[in-house]
Structure 1
Amino acid sequence: MLSISNEQDVGDRILAAAATCVRDYGIDRVTLAEIARRAKVSRPTIYRRWPDTQAILAALLTRRITEAAREVPLAGPGRTAIVDRIVAVAARLRHDDLLSAVLHSAPEFAMVYIAERLGTSQRLLIDVLADDLRAAQADGSVRAGDPRRLATMVLLVVQSTIQSAQIVEPILPPEELATELTHALNGYLAHG
């Protein structure tokens, strides 16, 4: 019987191999066979974890997004700390080489999670943010309203900012983009 840590290690190797494939080939040319070769596992080993390449790529993106959120801790209570964290996570995601590769090499894949359905990472981010907003409502720094609805709107604003940052960079370089995103989120979440 395999240990849990060995199983996790195999899963990590598979996701790491998938990430290198995306960077090297773009998302459309990633194959299960190449992922298996790079991870040094058999295809059946991959199939025991994920049904197909799309599921592996979705898991990979979920991991990258949730890791970025975990790497930026909430620096205190209240709206200001929440907004600072959101802006910092957005900056990490904006500069993430894997997410950039997906947005540029397979916009149709990204569009599924932008326009057609909420993905796992989006749902997780909404849940975490809703909890933070609920606490900030209790301390009076965030306006009244359903925290999940507020969190969902914040997700839409930030997601749009991440997607479009490159095209507005001549007008809003990264530092100014972060400043404007901070103003937008503070304005939206403040009592008005």
Structure 2
Amino acid sequence: MSSSNVEPQSQSQNRTQPRPQARTAAERGTDDAILDAAADLIVHLGVRRTQLAEIARRAGVSRPTVYRRWPDVRALIGALLTREILATLEGAPQAGPDREAFVERTVEIAVRLREHPVIGALLRSDDSDLLLQYVVERLGASQRGLLEALRTGIEQGQAHGSIRAGEPLELAAMVLLIAQSTVQSHRMVASLLPEAAWRRELARALNGYLAP
């Protein structure tokens, strides 16, 4: 058989093969229902009492439906945190091109994450090690999304002339570390840093780091 006969057959096969990345609206709706149920349980009962069987019941799906998506509660919570962190990032007001606007948006995102019901519940619970695993100890989808947004803002500030020179991704990584550690340690220093002071000092730290 000649190559001219083989090629159309291969193209036809490629056209009929499903794309594994494509998800239907129903599948995405089921995912969200499961994640919403997990979020409700975490907020009201805590991580230790959040079980896959109860998540499935509240989501109105079978346990095999949950297991096909996530093998255990920790993996499901990782997906939930990714969804919530990226949604918080997308919902924050856009910033102008200057450093102060970038810092203001970064502080606002930090506050929104700190006050997020699910993240706040994890920070306040004995299960905060789970939050550390998914937010601090690995570079997952949520972290990459945050880094990309920070990198873009830093590049704009550098073009504006209000952010110092340097590799944007390296600066973004350090900004992320500063903001993350401030969010995680908020409860420890709440009596020393009231809300207005917390925001002011975080902004000052970021401005000082990024200023030319």
Q: How many residues align?
A: 189
* Residue aligning to 1:62: 82
CA distance in 1, matches of 2:110, 2:31: 26
Query: Where do 1:11-22 residues align within 5 Å?
Result: 11-22=31-42
Unaligned runs of 5+ in 2: 1-22
Query: Where do 1:62-141 residues align within 5 Å?
Result: 62-105=82-125, 106-113=127-134, 116-141=137-162
Give 1:82's aligned amino acid. F
- State the Cα distance separating 1:176 from its structure 2 match: 1.0
Give 1:8's aligned amino acid. R
- State the Cα distance separating 1:110 from its structure 2 match: 1.9
SS of structure 2 residue aligned to 1:29: coil
In the alignment, which of 183, 186, 189 is matched to residue 162 of structure 1?
Answer: 183
Normalised by the length of structure 1, the TM-score is: 0.92
Give 2:122's aligned amino acid. V
TM-aligned CA distance change 1:76 to 1:155, over 3 Å: same
* Residue aligning to 1:8: 28
- State the Cα distance separating 1:114 from its structure 2 match: 5.4
* Residue aligning to 2:194: 173
- State the Cα distance separating 1:103 from its structure 2 match: 1.8
* 1:35 maps to 2:93: no
* Residue aligning to 1:182: 203
- State the Cα distance separating 1:101 from its structure 2 match: 1.1
- Retained in 1: the 8 A contact 2:155–2:168? yes
CA distance in 1, matches of 2:81, 2:191: 28
Q: Considering only aligned residues, what root-mean-square deviation do their CA atoms show, in Å? A: 1.5
- State the Cα distance separating 1:79 from its structure 2 match: 1.1
Superposed CA deviations along residues 54-113 of structure 1, whole A, max 9, x for unmatched, are 111001111111111111122311211111110011111111121111122202212224
- State the Cα distance separating 1:166 from its structure 2 match: 1.5
CA distance in 2, matches of 1:32, 1:113: 19
* Residue aligning to 1:23: 43
- State the Cα distance separating 1:119 from its structure 2 match: 2.9
CA distance in 1, matches of 2:91, 2:145: 15
Give 2:115's aligned amino acid. H
Q: Identity over aligned residues, as a percent?
A: 49
- Retained in 1: the 8 A contact 2:119–2:131? no
- State the Cα distance separating 1:115 from its structure 2 match: 5.1
